[in-house]
Amino acid sequence: MPIIVKDYTWQQSDKEIFISVPLKGTAAGHSSVMCTERYIKASFPPFLCEVFLFAPIDVDRSVTKIGNGIILFTLYKQEPCVWDSLCLANVTKETMQKLREDAIVRMQEKTKEDAQSKAVKKRENEKYSLEVMMKIDEDERKRIELVKEEERRKASEELEKFKEQQRIEEEKRKIQREQKRKEEEKKRNSLNKSMFSHSPQPCIQAEKHKIEKSVPPTRKCGSIQIHFTPRVFPTALRESRLAEEEEWLQKQAESRRAINTDSLDLQDLKEEEKNPEWLKDKGNKLFAAGDYLAAVNALNLAIRLNDKMPTMYLNRSACHLKLRNLHKAIEDASKALELLTPPVPDNASARLKAYVRRGTAFCNLELYVEGLQDYEAALKIDPANVNVKSDAEKIRQIIQGTSLVPE
């Protein structure tokens, strides 16, 4: 015999009904649902949940979502009104059996119709896909032929231009060689004329005397002793930049702190940087200025100095959300909730922020069911929060829009 589940919860509006059924530790893949106008059933062995509805619903519009640990029904009423209760009152066994049998018959008919519809749609899609692929192939062949033809035309034009350019350059080289030959011949003729018209001996003697005058005397051998001043600084005293070197060392320490706080040596820290509260305020200022990565670095160091402060994880979760580090944002929000125990009125505001930030990160990862659970937990802390209530409703609508009609 199955175990009947009765600890489900439900809410309603004039047009909709929301029912949440806990899976009680059963895997989501082992569950199945059935939905008709007056009857819904959720089966996740060994548990069974049946509801005989107070009034008929619109099955075609109604949806269900099976997530981790919960089955969420969203039912649309055929007539807008407020139901007195979710279930029929004083329903007899015969009526319940008839509703069950009608539900099974309708589900079988719907399954058959869906199978036929899917087969027809599949054939149409295959035919359309084939036509589209043939059209794409034909267009691609035409495009390739046009490209080839254009490339052949460009190659022919470039070859003709190259040949013409080579011919012009060859003609220029011929003209230059002819001009050079004529100039050399002219020089030889003028040199011969000058040699026969003047006596060469006086010129040679004058040139020899000029060369002898320009040659310097030979140097004498010797050695030079060089004495150096003692080296005191890392660089020569005349080139010392002691102030610049100290500034560089300070910048190196700051760079090590900025690059990786996990490998930071505490001797590099200033006195105020050893105070987690000061680092938290610095992270808040950097976050307000839009420098989210620097804010994360400041909070990393603060958490390294004191890892028991939930505010540090909560603020770092906000920074990771801005940087789109969604998994890290979830981890920090979860760590903050772990440290915010026991839940008391003094930490209610921090727990609300942690649930909202973790829910936001889940929704950005398209894990809408988990995000809705966090927003509902935030609403339990502050039921009058209009923004959280509005966001929860939007998430619920997204779940309904991405869900399938229950089969």
SS3 string of the chain?
Answer: CCEECCCCEEEECCCEEEEEEECCCCCHHHCEEEECCCEEEEEECCEEEEEEECCCEEEEEEEEEEECCEEEEEEEECCCCCCCCCECCCCCHHHHHHHHHHHHHHHHHHHHHHHHHHHHHHHHHHHHHHHHHHHHHHHHHHHHHHHHHHHHHHHHHHHHHHHHHHHHHHHHHHHHHHHHHHHHHHHHHHHHHHHHHCCHHHHHHHHHHHHHHHCCCCCCCCCCCCCCCCCCCCCCHHHCCHHHHHHHHHHHHHHHHHHCCCCCCHHHCCCHHHCHHHHHHHHHHHHHCCCHHHHHHHHHHHHHHCCCCHHHHHHHHHHHHHCCCHHHHHHHHHHHHHHCCCCCHHHHHHHHHHHHHHHHHHHHCCCHHHHHHHHHHHHHHCCCCHHHHHHHHHHHHHHHHHCECCC
Q: In this predicted structure, what is the pLDDT of residue 144?
A: 93
Q: Which of 60, 56, 59, 99 has the alpha carbon at shortest distance from 79?
A: 56
- Residue 178: Cβ-neighbour burial (10 angstroms; 0-12, 13-18, 19+): exposed
Which stretches of the chain score pLDDT less than 70? 191-220, 222, 228-269, 402-407
Task: Give the pairing of strands 47-52 and 39-44.
Answer: antiparallel
Is residue 57 within 8 A of residue 78, CB to CB? The reply is yes
Place of tokens 């050399």: 184
Phi, psi of 231 (to 5 degrees): -90, 115
Contacts of residues 30-33 at CB distance under 8 Å and 24 or more positions apart, as own/partner, are 31/66, 31/71, 33/64, 33/66, 33/71, 33/73, 33/406, 33/407
Is residue 28 within 8 A of residue 19, CB to CB? The reply is no
Q: In this predicted structure, what is the pLDDT of residue 248?
A: 56
Task: Give the pairing of strands 3-4 and 47-52.
Answer: parallel
Amino acid 128 reads Y
Q: In this predicted structure, what is the pLDDT of residue 199?
A: 44
Q: In this predicted structure, what is the pLDDT of residue 53?
A: 85
Q: In this predicted structure, what is the pLDDT of residue 228?
A: 66
How far apart are alpha carbons 295 and 352 in whole angstroms? 22
Q: In this predicted structure, what is the pLDDT of residue 346?
A: 86
| Segment 12-68, tens digit of pLDDT | 888 898 888 887 777 777 788 888 888 888 888 888 888 888 888 888 888 888 877
Enter the pTM of the model: 0.38
